[in-house]
Structure 1
Amino acid sequence: MSADSLPPAVLQVLPMLETGGVERGTIEVAEALVRAGFRALVASAGGRLVPELTHLGVEHIGLPLASKDPWVMWRNATKLAQVIREHRIDIVHARSRAPAWSARLAVRRTGARWVTTYHGTYNEGFPLKRRYNAVMASGERVIAISAFIAEHLIERHGTDPARVRIIPRGVDPRRFDPAIVSGERIVKLARAWRIPDDAPVVLLPGRLTRWKGQEVLIEALGRMARRDAVAVLAGDDQGRHGYRARLEVLAERLGLGARVRIVGDCPDMPAALMLADVAVSASIEPEAFGRVVVEAQAMGRPVVVTAHGGALETVSPGETGLLVPPGDAAALATALDQVLSLDEETRAALGARAREAVLARYTTERMCAATLDVYRELL
C-alpha cells in the first residue's frame, strides 16, 4: 500500500496503561478504530494492559508520558512529533494533562488534528493550576464525558460550546451481562474474599483513595441495622499503602474488622457485582461520570450513589437506584438497609430498569461510535 493510500491514523496519548476508566476507554476506542478500518496507535509509559492492546492489533509506543518533569515533557513532544511524521498520524487524541502538553506541542509542529477528552474536574489547589488544566480544553474538539463535565469546562475555561461534544462513558454489554456469569465464578470470589454464607455483600468498586469515600462506607456499615452485612472494597491502592492502613485501623476501631474486606484490584468485576447485594459509589467529590455505577446497573444490581456529578445523569432516584448526600454516613446506612430489605420481586424490577437504561444510553458501542464521528468531523 502506498503512503498516500494509507487509512487514517489516530494516536491516543495517556500516562500509563495500568487500570482505570481512562485506560479502559482508550483500549475500547482503539479496538473500534481497528474494526472501522483506521490505523490505531497508543502512546504511554506502558503497564499491565499493553498486551491486551497489542492483541487487538494496535501499536503501542512506549514513552515516559507519565512524567510531569518539564524537561521530560519537552523531550516527549519531540519524540511524539517524530511518531506523527513517521506514522503519518492524522489525529492526536490526548486523555490526560501531562501527555497533552507534550502532544499539543507535537501537533503544532506537524499540523496533525487535535482532540482532547476532559475526564475530570481537576483541582486547582495552587497558582497556575488552572492554566495547567486548560490544555484539556484546548482541542479542536473537546470530548466531555458527561453533561456535568461539559458545563464545568465551559464555565471554568470559557470553551466555545461549538467545540464540545458530550460523549458519556460506556459499559461493554458483552462482558457485563448477568446471563453469562457462571455460579463458579461467583463462588470463586466468595471463597477468596471469605464471605460468610448468606451474608449480604455491600460492594464499593474503585481505587483506594480518600475521595472515593471508602471511609464513609465503613462508618455507614457500623450504623446499619443489618449487623451481618459485609463491605467489600475492591480496588488497587496504587501505592497508597498509608490510606489502606488507615481504612484497616478505622474498621478495627469501629469493631468492624471481621466485616470489612479490602481485596485489591478485582479482574472479574462482573462476577464481583453478581456476588454483591448492593453496589455503592460513595465519592465525597463529584465523579466526572462514574463508570462503576453503570457497570453495576448493567449487571442488574441495586446501586446507592452520592448525589452529585455524573451520578445525577445515570441514576433515576427510586427507579434505577438510590441517591444520598455525599459524606453522609448515616444517610448511606439508611439507604443500604432500605435496599437490603427489598423483596426479591422489587429488587429484580429495579435491576431490570437499571440495565435497560444502561443499554439504551451507556454502552461502549455508542461511546466508540460517537468518538469516531468526532474523528470523522476533523478528517
Structure 2
Amino acid sequence: MKIKVVHIVEDLKTGGLERVIADIATGLNPEKFSVQVWCLVRGGEIFEELKAKGISVEVLGMRSHRDLKFFLNLCRRLRKEKIRIVHTHGYPATTLGRIAAKCAGVPVVLAHMHSTYYNYTAKQLYVDRLLGFFTDKIICCSKAVEGFVREKEKIMAEKLTVIYNGVDTDMFPVPELRCGAGCKEFVVGCIASLFAHKGHIFLLEAAKQVVAEVSLPVRFILAGDGELRQELQEHAKRLGLKSVVEFRGTVSDIPALLSEVNAVVLPSSEREGLGLALLEAMAAGRPVIGTDIGGIPEVINPGENGLLVRPGDSEALAKAIISLISDEEKTMWMGRKARKIAAERFSKKEMLEKIELLYLKLLKKKDVVNEI
C-alpha cells in the first residue's frame, strides 16, 4: 500500500515556494507515495499545472483563520483518508495544518520553511514555538533559514534539517551565447515577484547607470508579477528606461526565458530563503548576481559562479553587471561553473532523495511503515 502524503499550503500561485511544492509532488516515487496537495484558500497557476499533470490538487475554501467548521472538517478528512504524512508550507498552512494533523492523529507532521521572514504577531509566534514541540521535523531550504528559525522560534537543533531546493539541469539546455564584444546586445534577466522585498527598485537604478556607462546595447527582462508592477513601470519610464526594460509578467516557460539572457540578477533587499531563480539560472549555464542576504551566499561563490553585492546598493549592482558585460571570457567561464555547481550541489534528484529518506525515517521511528 502506498504512503499517503498531503502537502498543505495557502495557494499555488507562481513563486519559488510553490514551484518547490510542485517539484516534490511530481517527483516523489509514485510506487511508494500517493501525493495530494491541498490549498487552504485558492489555487493559482501552479495549481492548474499540477492538475494538468494528474496530481491530486484541491482548494479547500477556508474563509478565515478562525473558521472552526473548516478546521474540524480538515481534521476529519485527514483522519478519514488515513493520511500518514502532512507536509506544510508557509503561513497560515504551517500553523493550521500542523494543529489539524496532530488533532487527527497523523503520524508524521512536517513544516517546510522557505524564507528568513516573519510578519507574525506575538501570539502567532508563541503558537509556532509550541508547535515546534509537536512537529517531527522542520525542513529549512538553507542554513540561513535554519539559523533564523532556531533563533526566532527557539527550536531545538535536532528538530531542524537543511534540504536545499533543487533543479533538474536536464530541463535547461545551454545554447551558446556570446557576450561582450562578440554579441549585438547583453540581456540581463530578473525572475522574481514584483514585491518590495525583491529589490527591483535598486535594479532599475542600477540599469540606468549600466546603460549610461557601456557602449554595448543592454536590455533588462523582468519576469514576474505583483503589486508593484505599475509603480515600477512608471519609475522605469521616469529613469528613461522604457525602451530597455521589459516587464514580461508571469512566465511559465523558465528555460525558454533563460535562453534569451546572458546573466540573471536577484536584487533582494530584505530577505531571501535561497533563491530558486538563481538555481534555475545556474542550471541554464548563466552567471548570477545576488545580494548578500539570507541563503543567497550559500548559492553564489563570488568570482566563481557569480557575484555578490550589498543589498540596496544600486551602484555596486551596476558595477557587477558592467563587469560581466565587459569581460566576455569571465562571463562564459562563470556560466559553465554555475551549471556545474547546480548539478553537483543543488540537484532536484538529491532534494527528492533526501525528502523521501526523511519521510521513511520518520515513519519508521513512529513504527508506521509496518502498518502500510
Contact 1:137 1:153 in 2 (8 A): no
Identity fraction in percent: 29
Give 2:141's aligned residue.
Answer: 145
In the alignment, which residue of structure 2 is the partner of 1:204? 190
2:308 equivalent to 1:347: no
The answer (yes or no) to whether the contact 2:129–2:154 under 8 Å persists in 1 is: no
Deviation track 1:196-218 (CA, whole Å, cap 9, x = no partner) reads: x9232111111111111111011
Aligned: 1:223 with 2:229: no
Q: Which residue of 1 aligns with 2:170?
A: 174
Residue 259 of structure 1, CA deviation: 1.5
RMSD: 2.1
Q: Secondary structure at the match of 1:35?
A: coil
Preserved CA contact (<8 Å) 2:206 2:318? yes
Q: Residues 306-321 of structure 1 correspond to what in structure 2 (within 5 A)?
A: 306-321=291-306
Q: CA deviation at 1:177?
A: 2.9
Instruction: Give the TM-score of the pair, scaled to structure 1.
Output: 0.87
> 2:104 matched to which residue of 1?
110
The alignment of Structure 1 onto Structure 2 pairs a total of residues equal to 351
Matching residue of 2:366: none
Q: Which stretch of the first structure deviates more once superposed, 298-307 or 74-83?
A: 74-83
- The answer to whether the 8 A contact 1:118-1:136 is kept is no
- Structure 1 segments (4+ residues) deviating >6 Å: none
Residue 368 (structure 1) aligned to one of 352, 365, 369:
352
Q: Which of the numbers 235, 259, 263 marks the counterpart of 2:248?
A: 263
Structure 2 length-normalised TM? 0.88
Does residue 298 (structure 1) correspond to residue 283 (structure 2)? The answer is yes
CA deviations over 1:230-260 (Å, ceiling 9, x no partner): 22111022xx1xx222212211222222211
Q: 2:35 — aligned with what?
A: 40
* Structure 2 residue 71 is the aligned partner of structure 1 residue 82: no
Shift of 1:157: 1.2
Q: Is the 8 A contact 2:149 2:155 kept in 1?
A: yes
Q: Which has the higher contact order (CA 8 A, sep 6+)?
A: 2
Q: CA deviation at 1:92?
A: 0.6
SS in 1 for 2:290: strand
Contact 2:169 2:342 in 1 (8 A): no
Q: Distance in 2 between matches of 1:57 and 1:124?
A: 35
Asked whether the 8 Å contact 1:76–1:102 carries over to 2, the reply is no
**Matching residue's letter, 1:121:** T
Unaligned runs of 5+ in 2: 178-182, 364-372
In the alignment, structure 1 segments of 5+ residues that lack a partner are 1-5, 184-196
Does 2:12 match 1:23? Answer: no
Cα deviation per residue 1:158-214 (whole Å; 9 max; x = unaligned)? 1111111100011122322326x9x9xxxxxxxxxxxxx923211111111111111
State the AA in 1 paired with 2:57: H
Is the CA contact 1:167–1:367 (under 8 Å) kept in the aligned structure 2?
A: yes
Q: Deviations over 1:79-133 (max 9, x none)?
A: 2222212221001111122123322232222210211101112234754353365
